[in-house]
C-alpha cells in the first residue's frame, strides 16, 4: 500500500480462484446483472416468434428454436442469482450469443425478414463494454463469419452475399469499436477521478480521505491477526520559517523530497498519508511497541536525510500511539482517537527539542491509572492538567 496511489486500479472482483478479472473499472456484479438483462430481453423478444404463424420452420426447427429461447431464460436466471461473472465467462456468453443467432437463422423460414444481423447487436454491445481488446477482436471476426453463414442461404450471388455480409458485419463491428473506445475513455476518467480523490496533489501521497476509508480494513486486519495498530504523526520542524524565508516554492520542494524519502522508508503494508500542511500520518500494525519505535526512528532519519532539489532540508518531530483493536468499536472513531494521542505525543517531542520521537501514554483504565508510561518523558498533551489553551500555546511555539 505505502503512500502513493496507483494510477491504474482494478475495481472489479474475480469470479473465482485463478479466473481473470474484468477490465479495470468494471464491477463483476454490475456486469452479471447487465448480461442477465440482455439475455432476458433477447429471450422475450425471440419468444414472440413462437406465437406468430409462418415464421418458424415446422418440425425440429420449432423445437430447436424453443429450446434456444429456454436456454437464454436459464442463463439469464443463473446470472441474476449468481450476480458475478469473470472475463472468461463473459467472453463465452458473447460467443454463445453469436452461435445462438446462427441457430435462430436456421430455424426461421425467412431470415432476412425475421432474423436480420441486427440481432447480433446484443452480443456486440456486451463484448464492447465488458471485454478487453483482444477478446473483442476475436468476437468481431466471429461476427463477420456468422453474418456470412447466416446470409448465405438467402443469396444466389456471391457478390451480393459478400456486400450484404460486409455491410452488416462492418456496421456491427464499428458500433462495437465505438462503444469500446467510449468505455476506455470513461474508465480513464474514473481512474483519474478516483486517484485524485485519494491523492495529495503536491506530494503524491495518500490524503486524509483515503486514510478514513482504509480505517475499517486496517482495523479489521489487525484484529484478525492479533496485533496492535500504531499511528505516527510527523510534523516538520520550523517549516513555516522555511516558507517565510525562502518562499513557498522551496517549501513545496522540501515536502516532495520528504514524501519520496518516507515512501522508501515505510513498510509495504503501512499507509502513509499527508493530512494537511506539514503534517503526515503513518498507520500500520506492530507486534510490540518497540517495533513502532524502531520504525519511527527510521522515519525520523529518512526526513533528516531528505534534500530538496535546492539542497534544503528539515527535521521532523514524531509522536507514536499504539492501540489494540476491540471488537464492536467504530474503526473511524477509534482511528482518530489513536491519531489524537499520537498528535499529543508529537507536541511532547516538539517541546523536548524537536527532531525526536515521543511515545504517547496508553489510554487510562477505569481505575484512572495509565496502562503504560510515556517513552519520551514530558507532560503529555491530552493527559490530566493539559488544557486546550496550553495546547494552543504549544502550537504557537512550532
Segments making up each domain of the chain, as ranges: 28-197, 208-396
Q: How far apart are CA 385 and CA 153, in angstroms?
A: 94
Q: What's the pLDDT at 28?
A: 82
Mean pLDDT of all residues in 18-28:
59
For position 376, what pLDDT does the model report? 40
Q: Residues of the chain with pLDDT > 70: what percent?
A: 84
| 195-199, 351-355, 358-362: which is most confident | 351-355
Q: Residues 136-146: what's their mean pLDDT?
A: 93
Of residues 66 and 24, more confidently modeled: 66
Q: Average pLDDT in the 95-121 region?
A: 85
215: part of which helix (H) or strand (E)? helix 208-225
CB 333 within 8 A of CB 237: no
Packing angle, helices 121-130 and 158-198, rounded to 10: 30
Predicted pLDDT at 364:
59
**In Å, how far are 28, 116, 145 from 8, measured between CA atoms?**
17, 40, 35
Which pLDDT score is estimated for 282? 96
The model's confidence at residue 5, banded by pLDDT at 50, 70 and 90, is low
Tell me the β-bridge partners of 359: 320
User: Does the pLDDT at position 332 exceed 60?
Assistant: yes
pLDDT in tens, 296-323: 999 999 999 999 988 999 999 999 999 9
Q: What are phi and psi of 175, to 5 degrees?
A: -65, -40
- Confidence at residue 246, expressed as pLDDT on a 0 to 100 scale: 92
Which residues lie across from 321 on neighbouring strands? 231
Cα–Cα distances in angstroms (integers) from residue 363 to residues 93, 218, 285, 288, 342, in the given order: 57, 20, 18, 16, 12
User: In the structure grid, which three cell numbers stand for residue 56, read together?
Assistant: 418458424
For 74-96, how does the pLDDT look when each residue is reduced to its tens digit (9 = 90+)? 999 999 998 888 888 899 999 99
- C-alpha closest to that of 154 among 114, 98, 119: 114
Kindly report which listed range (116-125, 225-234, 245-254) carries the lowest average pLDDT score. Answer: 116-125
Q: Kindly state the average pLDDT of the residues 293-297.
A: 94
Q: What is the pLDDT of residue 21?
A: 60
Side-by-side strand order, sheet with 271-276: 271-276, 279-286, 228-236, 316-323, 357-359
pLDDT in tens, 51-60: 888 788 888 8
Question: pLDDT grade, residue 2 (50/70/90)?
Answer: low
| Residue 378 predicted with pLDDT over 80 | no
* pLDDT tens digit sequence for 190-238: 888 888 888 998 999 999 999 999 989 999 999 999 999 999 999 999 9
From 301, 298, 266, select the one nearest 283 (Cα to Cα): 266
> In a 3-state reduction of DSSP, which class is residue 232?
strand
What is the chain's length? 398
Average pLDDT score over residue span 9-19: 40
Rounded to the nearest angstrom, the gap between the alpha carbon of residue 136 and the centroid of all alpha carbons in its chain is 24
Pick the CATH number of 208-396 from 3.20.10.10, 3.30.70.270, 3.40.50.720, 3.40.50.300: 3.30.70.270
The full 3-state SS of 113-128, as one line of letters, equals HHCCHHHHHHHHHHHH
Q: Considering the chain, what is the average pLDDT of its residues? A: 83
Question: Taking a C-beta distance cutoff of 8 angstroms, is the pair 378, 358 a contact?
Answer: yes
pLDDT tens digits, one per residue of 276-292: 899 999 999 998 989 99
Q: How many CA atoms lie within 13 A of 156 on its CB side?
A: 0
For residue 349, is pLDDT > 50? Answer: yes
Kindly indicate the confidence band of residue 248, based on its pLDDT and cuts at 50, 70 and 90.
very high
60 near 54, Cβ under 8 Å?
A: no
Mean pLDDT for 123-135 is 91
Q: What percent of the chain has pLDDT over 90?
A: 51
Q: Provide the pLDDT confidence category of residue 371 given band limits of 50, 70 and 90.
A: very low
Give me the pLDDT at residue 385, please: 32
Q: Is the pLDDT of residue 398 over 50?
A: no
Amino acid at each position: 500500500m505505502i503512500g502513493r496511489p496507483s494510477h491504474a486500479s482494478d475495481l472489479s472482483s474475480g469470479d473465482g480462484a485463478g479466473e481473470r478479472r474484468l477490465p479495470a473499472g468494471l464491477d463483476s456484479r454490475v456486469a452479471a446483472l447487465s448480461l442477465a438483462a440482455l439475455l432476458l430481453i433477447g429471450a422475450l423478444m425471440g419468444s414472440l416468434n413462437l406465437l406468430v404463424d409462418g415464421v418458424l420452420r415446422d418440425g425440429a426447427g420449432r423445437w430447436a428454436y424453443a429450446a434456444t429461447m429456454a436456454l437464454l431464460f436459464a442463463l439469464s436466471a443463473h446470472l441474476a442469482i449468481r450476480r458475478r461473472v469473470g472475463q472468461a465467462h463473459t467472453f463465452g456468453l458473447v460467443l454463445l450469443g453469436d452461435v445462438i443467432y446462427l441457430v435462430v437463422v436456421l430455424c426461421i423460414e425467412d431470415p432476412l425478414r425475421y432474423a436480420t444481423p441486427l440481432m447480433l447487436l446484443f452480443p456486440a454491445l456486451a463484448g464492447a463494454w465488458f471485454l478487453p481488446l483482444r477478446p473483442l477482436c476475436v468476437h468481431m471476426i466471429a461476427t463477420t463469419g456468422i453474418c456470412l453463414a447466416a446470409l448465405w442461404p438467402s443469396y444466389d450471388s456471391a457478390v451480393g452475399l459478400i456486400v450484404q455480409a460486409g455491410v452488416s458485419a462492418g456496421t456491427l463491428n464499428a458500433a462495437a469499436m465505438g462503444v469500446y473506445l467510449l468505455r476506455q475513455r470513461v474508465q480513464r476518467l474514473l481512474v483519474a477521478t478516483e486517484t485524485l480523490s485519494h491523492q495529495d496533489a503536491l506530494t503524491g501521497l495518500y490524503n486524509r480521505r483515503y486514510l478514513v476509508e482504509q480505517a475499517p480494513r486496517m482495523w479489521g486486519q489487525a484484529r484478525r491477526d492479533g496485533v496492535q495498530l500504531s499511528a505516527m504523526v510527523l510534523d516538520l520542524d520550523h517549516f513555516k520559517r522555511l516558507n517565510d524565508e525562502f518562499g513557498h516554492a522551496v517549501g513545496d520542494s522540501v515536502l516532495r523530497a520528504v514524501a519520496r524519502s518516507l515512501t522508501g522508508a515505510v513498510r509495504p503494508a503501512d499507509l502513509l498519508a499527508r493530512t494537511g500542511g506539514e503534517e503526515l500520518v503513518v498507520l500500520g500494525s506492530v507486534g510490540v511497541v518497540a517495533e513502532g519505535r524502531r520504525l519511527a526512528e527510521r522515519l525520523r532519519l529518512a526526513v533528516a536525510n531528505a534534500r530538496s532539489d535546492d539542497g534544503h532540508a528539515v527535521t521532523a518531530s514524531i509522536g507514536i500511539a499504539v492501540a489494540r483493536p476491540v471488537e464492536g468499536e467504530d474503526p473511524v472513531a477509534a482511528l482518530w482517537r489513536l491519531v489524537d494521542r499520537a498528535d499529543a505525543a508529537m507536541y511532547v517531542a516538539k517541546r523536548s527539542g524537536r527532531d525526536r520521537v515521543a511515545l504517547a501514554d496508553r489510554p487510562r483504565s477505569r481505575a484512572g491509572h495509565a496502562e503504560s508510561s510515556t517513552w519520551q518523558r514530558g507532560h503529555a498533551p491530552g493527559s490530566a492538567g493539559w488544557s486546550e489553551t496550553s495546547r494552543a500555546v504549544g502550537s504557537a511555539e512550532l
